[in-house]
Amino acid sequence: MKETPLSNCERDFLLKAIEEKKRLDGRQTYDYRKMKITFGTDYGCCFVDLGKTRVMAQVSCELVVPKESRPNEGIMFFNIELSPMASPAFEQGRQSELSVKLNRQLERCLRNSKCIDTESLCVVSGEKVWQIRVDVHMLNHDGNLMDAASIAAITALCHFRRPDVGIQGDEVTVYSPEERDPIPLSIYHMPISVSFSFFQQGTYLLVDPCEREERVMDGLLMIAMNKHREICSIQSSGGIMLLKEQVMRCSKIASVKVSEITELISKALENDKKARKAGERCGFAESMPQERITALKTYETPVEMTDVSDRANDIVQKAEAPPQMVPSPVVPVPGVGQVGQGLQNTWGLEEGDEEEEEENDSSDEDQEEQVTEMKEKQHEKMEIRGGDVVEISDSEEEEVVILHPEIPDKAPITKSSSHQKGAAALKKRQKK
């Protein structure tokens, strides 16, 4: 499905608002949106909400043969999935440009910075090492996917516990979580990416752009840093020219933001650890906030369930095998068919619109007058035929309109939609 196009008026308004230092949701230039980090029941499952952007990361591990060039190091594998659930612009299965870009950025941010001690993942050098796989799924796209993905990935890695391994001589035993407590990964530092969007050839800068702002921006600068003020990765896209001072300023802003975010992550991890120790119910079901659609809704809505099982049994018993042959098939005359009528407006609001009838309706009114007398005869005939009548159209029409009132006795009875524009007479014939 194609993305909704951006209209000129939105673009102009956004740029004008940015010049006046106003953002759509009332944030300041350097403000992040509200960030929320929650964890799932398994170790290594983490949800990050950045405003309306929602991202999920899941870490899993597996014993594999190591690479030949690095026989005593574990393997890290990152994967970002742009689910079509996140935005109509994302298509299932296709590796879009954005997906490649995000994957590459996440890899550079986490793998090249050596935030995880891969040597500790080695079990038997040259034969068995742990492969840690991080899958990040985009659940809702409202801008700044990269930041949300990096936070989710590193938090999930910190949250993850791998199974304990025992080595006795040549034998390697992998203990299940029930036998021995799983061990956390050894993480040196937490690199977090901060995105800056530039407008009007670098004149204006915004941190954490939302989806609309991303559409009108000129370029994007992504700085990945850890709380020790070490830059792990910098990427500038969009082809904008940036001055040295601008980049320095951005890195200073990034260090402030990163320390705040790291604090938030550690707090979230703490809370989760406490909750698990206390034996509280933790995880997905509990961590989902009660998101109410409207304040008027009550939680328990009554559903008519009293006769569900009876009705189900009834249906099962009464259902016959589907017939191979339809008793009296309705065959449209070759070359004609009926085009659907479409829905009618059922809200009953626009009473005034009924007066403004389209001109092409008047042509049908003549037909309708002749037709009304025929309706009674039609009804009689319908009753006689009883079970043979097959309704094939799913239009909302109540009456059956006959097109040829001068031959009332003949077998062919035609139906037509009363709102058709003149030209082709669309007919359906029914066999008696």
Partner 1 sequence: MFSSLKDKVGQVLLPGDEFSFDTEDTISLTTPVKPEKVVCGPGLRRSGTDCRCVKAASCDTKLPTFCTHNTQHQRHYVPVKGETVIGIVTVKSGDIFKVDFGGSEQASLSYLAFEGATKRNRPNVQVGDLVFAQFVVANKDMEPELVCVDSGGRANGMGVFGGGGLLFTVSLGLVRRLLSPQSDLMQDLQKLFPCELVVGMNGRLWVRSSSTQRTLIIANLLQSCETMTAPQRKALFARVAEGTL
Interface positions with partner 1 (CB under 8 A): 2, 4-13, 16-17, 20, 22, 24-26, 292-296, 301-304, 339-350, 353, 356-359, 396
Cβ contacts of 371 within 8 Å, gap of 6 or more:
401, 402, 405
- Residue 395 or 414: which CB sits closer to partner 1? 395
- φ, ψ dihedrals at 384, nearest 5°: -60, -45
Query: Which lies closer to partner 1 via its Cβ, residue 300 or residue 409?
Result: 300
Q: Look up residue 94 and give its two tokens.
A: 């296709």
Residues 426 and 414: their CA atoms lie apart, in Å, by 8
By beta-carbon proximity to partner 1, the closer residue of 18 and 146 is 18
DSSP string covering 220-262? EEEEEE-TTS-EEEEEEES-----HHHHHHHHHHHHHHHHHHH
User: CB neighbours of 154 closer than 8 A, spacing ≥ 6?
Assistant: 110, 115, 187, 190, 191, 192, 265
Minimum Å distance from CB 352 to partner 1?
A: 10
- Residue with smaller CB distance to partner 1, 24 or 392: 24
CB of 423 to partner 1, least distance (A): 14
Provide, rounded to whole angstroms, the least separation between the CB of residue 237 and partner 1: 24
**Closer to partner 1 by Cβ: residue 295 or 325:** 295
Q: Give the Å distances, CA to CA, from 235 to 22, 194, 205, 258, 405.
A: 26, 11, 16, 16, 76
φ/ψ of residue 23, rounded to 5: -110, 160
The smaller minimum CB distance to partner 1, of residues 304 and 383, is found at 304
Query: Nearest approach, Cβ of 54 to partner 1 (angstroms)?
Result: 17
Beta carbon of residue 96, minimum distance to partner 1 (angstroms, whole number): 20
CB of 343 to partner 1, least distance (A): 5
Cα–Cα–Cα angle for 115, 117, 119, nearest 5°?
150
d(CA 40, CA 284): 4
Phi, psi angles (nearest 5°) of residue 206: -135, 140
Task: Find the shortest distance in angstroms from Cβ 214 to partner 1.
Answer: 16
> Which residue lies nearer to partner 1 by CB, 253 or 426?
426
Contact at 8 Å (CB) between 200 and 213?
no
